[in-house]
């Protein structure tokens, strides 16, 4: 029983500027902007939505099968995946390209300037859902535009239930395309900002979307999350974090928990709480794939957070 997770793999290069951008960017000179920031702190992390979601699902004991396109520089990431026991069966190397890369500079006010190079990600459509076997559930997460469109259609044609998770790829699509994604998908998962954009572009309210789905899941950060079912809404409380170190990748951690619950036919109350706790554990660590959990520790944190035992 595998989850085919279609999406991006990326290297995230994160730099810290020990000052404030506003002290060095003159508002009346932005038309001739030419600045350089000294960044003594730098780290390179393994990221991308498919990689992050697969990592979190694997931590929970699930069976992820990530699918994506990468560049000729993917070697260190491949070694990391092998060490974590995450299969690379459907990770395709595109010759003459780099793996997708984000270059993020953060200042002391937590403002960020990001440059993103899609690289091999734009070739995601080369992979096809039917190439994978033993798949019981799928996910279409941010990826190359053509890949997202084709993978959603392929999941539907194969009769494989899947989550549509547009993420930062949502602006790539118009209202008709997003409505079609909703009609093809079994579940949709977005954050609160994406939910607003999705409503604006499709003209559908959350309840109207839920009527076309088995569930619409909207995450709201520290406010928890909401699961809209065709008949009613379930409010999932946030899980308290012990430290707030790095929110990057919390949404992917949540989605890893969501997949685990769906794969094991858990009720929505439990599934939502597992997902929320995964997000809280992630935010306590820098980077998107540096947190660790074991079953006993997760069960203890679950009881601590929600006052109930975890039956999974």
Mean pLDDT of the chain: 96
Say how far apart CA 107 and CA 93 lie, in whole Å: 34
- What percent of the chain has a predicted confidence (pLDDT) above 90? 91
CATH fold for the domain made of 2-8+49-99+120-306: 3.40.1190
Asked if 9 and 100 count as a contact pair (C-beta separation under 8 A), the reply is yes
Q: How many C-beta atoms surround the C-beta of residue 81 within 10 A?
A: 22
Q: Which of 201, 147, 185, 193 is nearest to 167 (CA)?
A: 193
For the full predicted model, state whether its pTM sits above 0.75. Answer: yes
- What percent of the chain has a predicted confidence (pLDDT) above 70? 100
Identify the band that residue 132 occupies on the pLDDT scale cut at 50, 70 and 90.
Answer: very high
Asked if 232 and 273 count as a contact pair (C-beta separation under 8 A), the reply is no
pLDDT digits 0-9 by tens, 211-239: 999 999 999 999 999 999 999 999 999 99
Say how far apart CA 54 and CA 256 lie, in whole Å: 7
DSSP code, position 237: P
Greatest CA separation found in the chain?
Answer: 59
Say how far apart CA 284 and CA 280 lie, in whole Å: 7
Q: Is the pLDDT of residue 110 over 80?
A: no
Specify the pLDDT at position 218. Answer: 98
Mean pLDDT of all residues in 256-284: 98
Say how far apart CA 172 and CA 154 lie, in whole Å: 19
Specify the pLDDT at position 30. Answer: 83
DSSP code, position 59: H
Q: Is the pLDDT of residue 68 over 80?
A: yes
pLDDT digits 0-9 by tens, 166-182: 999 999 999 999 999 99
For the chain, domain boundaries: 2-8+49-99+120-306
Specify the pLDDT at position 256. Answer: 98
Q: Is the pLDDT of residue 106 over 90?
A: no
Specify the pLDDT at position 112. Answer: 84
DSSP code, position 89: T
Which helix or strand (DSSP H or E) is residue 297 part of?
helix 295-306
Say how far apart CA 135 and CA 133 lie, in whole Å: 5
Specify the pLDDT at position 117. Answer: 96
């Amino acid at each position: 029983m595998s989850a085919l997770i279609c999406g991006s793999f990326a290297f995230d290069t994160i730099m810290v500027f020990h000052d404030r951008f506003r002290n060095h960017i003159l508002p009346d000179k932005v038309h001739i902007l030419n600045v350089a920031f000294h960044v003594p702190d730098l780290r390179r992390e393994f990221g991308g939505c498919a990689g992050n979601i697969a990592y979190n699902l694997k931590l929970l004991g699930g069976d992820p099968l990530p699918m994506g396109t990468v560049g000729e520089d993917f070697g260190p990431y491949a070694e990391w995946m092998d060490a974590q026991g995450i299969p690379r069966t459907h990770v395709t190397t595109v010759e003459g390209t780099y793996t997708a890369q984000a270059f993020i500079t953060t200042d002391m006010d937590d403002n960020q300037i990001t440059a993103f190079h899609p690289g091999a990600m734009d070739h995601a459509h080369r992979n096809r859902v039917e190439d994978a076997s033993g798949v019981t559930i799928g996910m279409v997460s941010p990826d190359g535009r053509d890949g997202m469109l084709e993978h959603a259609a392929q999941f539907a044609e194969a009769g494989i239930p899947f989550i549509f998770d547009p993420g930062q790829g949502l602006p790539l699509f118009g209202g008709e395309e997003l409505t079609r994604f909703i009609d093809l998908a079994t579940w949709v998962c977005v954050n609160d900002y994406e939910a607003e954009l999705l409503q604006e572009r499709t003209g559908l309210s959350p309840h109207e979307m839920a009527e076309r789905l088995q569930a619409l899941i909207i995450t709201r950060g520290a406010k928890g999350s909401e699961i809209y079912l065709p008949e009613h809404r379930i409010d999932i409380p946030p899980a308290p974090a012990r430290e707030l170190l790095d929110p990057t990748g919390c949404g992917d951690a949540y989605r890893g928990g969501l997949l685990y619950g769906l794969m094991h036919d858990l009720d929505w109350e439990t599934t939502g709480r597992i997902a929320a706790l995964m997000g809280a554990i992630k935010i306590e660590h820098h980077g998107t794939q540096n947190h660790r959990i074991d079953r006993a520790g997760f069960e203890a944190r679950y009881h601590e957070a929600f006052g109930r035992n975890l039956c999974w």
